[in-house]
Amino acid sequence: MSDPIVADKRPCVLDLEPGDYFWCACGRSKKQPWCDGSHSGTGITPIQTVIEEKKRVAMCACKQTANAPYCDGAHKNLPA
- pTM over 0.85, yes/no: yes
Residues 11-25: tens digit of each pLDDT:
999 999 999 999 999
| Cβ neighbours of residue 71 closer than 8 Å, sequence gap 6 or more | 11, 58, 59, 60, 61, 65
Name the pLDDT band for 8 (thresholds 50, 70, 90). very high
| Residue 40 is assigned to a structural domain of this protein | yes
Cα three-residue angle 25-30-32, rounded to 5 degrees: 50
| Residue 3 is assigned to a structural domain of this protein | no
Q: Quick check: 1 pLDDT over 90?
A: no
| Residue 74 is assigned to a structural domain of this protein | no
**Three-state DSSP string of the chain:** CCCCCCCCCCCEEEEECCEEEEECCCCCCCCCCECCCCCCCCCCCCEEEEECCCEEEEECCCCCCCCCCECCCHHHHCCC
**CATH number of residue 52's parent domain:** 3.40.5
Q: How many domains does the chain have?
A: 1
Residues 30-66: tens digit of each pLDDT:
999 999 999 999 999 999 999 999 999 999 999 999 9
Q: Give me the domain span that covers residue 24.
A: 12-66
| Residue 21 is assigned to a structural domain of this protein | yes
* Per-residue pLDDT at 80: 80
